[in-house]
Structure 1
Amino acid sequence: MPNVVGLNHQLAQDTMQAAGFYYLTEQDATGQGRLLINDRNWVVVTQEPKGGTRVPTDTKIVLRSKKIGE
């Protein structure tokens, strides 16, 4: 499992997919329920499972992001 915390959301998704992980979900880390429309304007602040964890590639990945600058 790649560690994508700190990456912009688009690069994080690309990194996960390059590693074979396609079951990706996303959430607004602020709890406001906003949709991540332009992924490059968001930065990943947490991920589940955590980076470095060994998990099957069909594991559900949750990326929680907030807008850059928040």
Structure 2
Amino acid sequence: MVGMNLQEGQDTMQAAGFYALDDQDSTGQGRLQIYDRNWVITKQDPAAGRKVATDTPVTLYAKKYGE
């Protein structure tokens, strides 16, 4: 999901059957992502490429575009 806007990443994860999703401000400022389309995913946990069950919690870390 890294490189996608937050909304696109969430939609992609849900289409693949993942619903235990969390999103965090990757800058450490603790901001809420109100409008997901202006945030870009910078990291995810579990990391990309790992095979996990669809009930595994996934955290998407994002920052606003241009930061």
Shared fold, TM over 0.5: yes
Deviation above 2 Å: which 4+ runs of structure 1?
A: none
Q: Percent of aligned pairs with the same residue?
A: 61
**Are 1:18 and 2:15 matched, yes or no?**
yes
Please give the alpha-carbon distance, in whole angstroms, between the structure 2 residues aligned to 1:35 and 1:9. 12
**Are 1:61 and 2:53 matched, yes or no?**
no
Unaligned segments of structure 1, at least 5 residues: none
Q: What number of residue pairs does the alignment pair up?
A: 67
1:6-52 deviation line (CA, Å, top 9, x unaligned): 00000000000011100000100000000000000000000001111
**Are 1:46 and 2:43 matched, yes or no?**
yes
Unaligned segments of structure 2, at least 5 residues: none
SS in 1 for 2:40: strand
